[in-house]
Chains A and B, each alone.
Chain A
């Protein structure tokens, strides 16, 4: 019987642009795989049922909850965490704006916030303040009251739109 449902799965994927091969327990969540097996502690486990967004990472271009996806499901996919997005400069302007606007306090939500914000900003068009608030409505921050985060993302959206137009 156990042979039908193997409890360990071989996966091969790209994480932050690097090839990774691993054998993972079938029940291993993506966020635990990243944190415990790969040492990528930027994504955080918090509510562990998809509500708070602290574990948000990018999988094949989409912001996903690392606590709602299994490591086995990312076999063959392209995963980016805050570490990789920092190293390659993708979110450098967001990070700079977050620091300048003090759009973070304890910093526990911030990697997830930035991945979620980057997903929004990668879409065409200049998002309204309301749209930014709606897009982040699955990312919980207990420290800031959100306004500074919205300000920071809005400023980056405008700066990127300005650059695109120039």
Chain B
């Protein structure tokens, strides 16, 4: 159905080609327009007083000194904000049993993590607000804190939210086949314990929001660094008592999001509430410490996993016991249970096996809330699955490539259903692995590894296969009651000079959304991409939709754009047919002109058609439709999710004296279906890989037993920098989804899904001859030395 995009000789063939991003030029000139760049008349700044305690009763707030600081206008407590803003509860009906107490924009009588807002100071300058915030005198009564994940459910542990009855937020078990029998009858059973480090997104642009309230027209406008403008509109309207049409969310340039900017943050909602109270623009820009203590965290998991294999390497069963601690509240409205739920859904994902048991246990603790960050749950599931598969291969004396070949779903096995009950429309594990092996020249690399070994240099090769959930249907959030759209829309309009404007509900965070849309619309209408102006990020001027998350922009937003563009093309040709006195289906639009379909002969530029329609409509037949603006929406419905697949490889060098791991090279072959813009897809993969490499080697938020964050700065929390990162070789297999005409699935999270597991397997490949192994991320020099038993204290 969508195979025509594979023909490079077709007219207007922009889908599948690298075309430049329309917004890149101004960004390299420093002409971006991020929220903090916006200055409005009468604008004031809000700074939050935050709890220094992981758990404490707020027994009094004295703002006298703060109010005396020059420039300070108001100080708000939780009770003040609660008068105009209702609390929320981060649960979803389809995540059965998930519980979380009401959360207020500013804590009312109790703070439950270090960094939770307990008061807000508004001043004419940020400097004055910060100075005054330090002078707000809050009386706390310290409460016992819950900080250890594995003892959170013990009887001796205090209950964080007494009303909830226990510290269990959510649990889910899934069992398929006869797991116990499979383990009992297995040739080999391998068991391991894995940890993924609690880390965060570290967006370069901190969370940012500027909200204005105009009481004269009852209109709220929020300039917001967000991935989901319509979701923010819904939430602000609901909790501030406004109608949705009176809340406008504008999302201009966003300095990185990766899932961090798709959640409801108490301080951001408080900023909107304050704007409504003060009836003037209020700006909140998080500082770096606030980013570390209040941006959502993720990946705080401990997992016990078992794999059962037959003598020939066939996987008989997986048994997974996943634990995660999500902080004090389940984050609204997407919740904090999705990550653990994904681990249950995704473990063993690439493999055709019969017996599966997985359980996730999600507990509360007095730390920063966790929620969805790029590749939600995938890196955890891939680490456990691929770690166990490699350990099984080693136990069998089998090559890691071979054991995967023997177990992956066959490329002609689709449609298929996994033991976790995930439905796969079409994947390409074998083709992808074959391509990877060729790309990395696996045998030559093994020879290089052996040669290095002869010189005393320790190197390792690691492989990680994965599946990735993209293009989510309403089964992800809508089914659970969340007002988060799985549908997106696009309005495509032709202006009188023949140029095209397309307004889309998916947003641009730097992935290249606007380039992707411009080439789809250009192809769909029949104009050059440069003739298409894309508008995104404004709830008042774009169709309604979900935004940009869960690798959905191209697959869902792109399909809506294609259908809208095609509808406009048909509308243009209907007018052209009347003007040229021929049937529309004998005409085509190519490079911005109406031409004869048969031979491409020029008939009329679009500017002439536009001139007649807009300025001399009297010369067209009365009753001729002339709707040169068309809107289409799209939501996936055949499958709950469009799964993609891929496989990564890492080549590392381990210094067994220092424990230092050097990344030599990285490869990824992935299948996101139709590739719309090869360069943009490759760069999504590369950027995603490096976030996974950070998880593998550097990134971990450290807390002490009292719930204090110990490394809340970029000097202490390490992120990947240019010096340590490898070059990455990227390639694709294309299995378009048949559900849409475009055939695109998501690509934004594949890199992050598999990178850390590939590095872990590479390190363990290097350490195995020494009897060493690592399974707790990040693999710091200290942990590598411990894995080698060179450090034991």
Instruction: Please list the residues of chain A having a beta carbon within 8 angstroms of any beta carbon in chain B.
Output: 25, 27, 35, 40-49, 51-52, 54, 81-83, 86, 94-95, 98-100, 102, 104-111, 114, 132-134, 136-150
Contact = CB atoms under 8 A, between A and B. Distances in A.
Interface of A is mostly: loop
Given A45-B36, A52-B714, A107-B24, 12 more contacts: A42-B31, A44-B36, A44-B255, A46-B205, A49-B715, A83-B30, A99-B20, A106-B255, A106-B509, A107-B23, A108-B32, A108-B34
Contacts of A35: 36-37
B686 interface: yes
B288 A49 contact: yes
Given A46-B206, A99-B21, A141-B204, A146 B34 contact: no
Contacts of B713: 47, 49, 51
Contact of B28 (A43, A104, A147): A104
Contacts of A143: 256, 510, 687
B722 A82 contact: no
A102 B28 contact: no
Contacts of A150: 722
Q: Which of B202, B206, B720, B721 has most A Cβ within 10 Å? A: B721
Interface of B is mostly: loop
Interface string B495-513: 0000000000000011110
A100 B21 CA distance: 9
B321 interface: no
Interface of B: 20-21, 23-25, 27-32, 34, 36-37, 127, 201-206, 253-258, 287-288, 509-512, 679-680, 683, 686-691, 713-715, 719-723, 725, 727-728, 751
B722 A137 contact: yes
A81 B29 CA distance: 10
A140 B204 contact: yes
A86 to B, nearest CB: 4
Given A106-B204, A136-B722, A95 B509 contact: no
Q: Which of A51, A82, A114, A147 has most B Cβ within 10 Å? A: A147
A107 B21 CA distance: 12
B253 A145 contact: no
30 contacts: A41-B30, A42-B29, A46-B204, A47-B288, A49-B288, A49-B714, A81-B30, A83-B30, A95-B25, A98-B24, A99-B21, A100-B20, A104-B24, A104-B28, A105-B256, A105-B509, A105-B510, A106-B27, A106-B254, A106-B509, A107-B28, A108-B32, A108-B256, A140-B719, A142-B203, A142-B204, A142-B719, A145-B689, A145-B720, A146-B722
Q: Which 5 A-B pairs have the closest CB atoms?
A: A42-B30, A107-B27, A108-B255, A105-B510, A106-B510
A109 B202 CA distance: 13
A98 B23 CA distance: 12
Contacts of A98: 24, 28
A96 to B, nearest CB: 8
Contact of B204 (A25, A49, A109): A109
Contacts of A52: 204, 714
B84 to A, nearest CB: 30
Contacts of A139: 721-722
Contacts of B23: 107
A31 B444 CA distance: 50
A120 to B, nearest CB: 12
B686 A145 contact: yes
A83 B204 CA distance: 20
A99 B288 contact: no
A125 B399 CA distance: 46
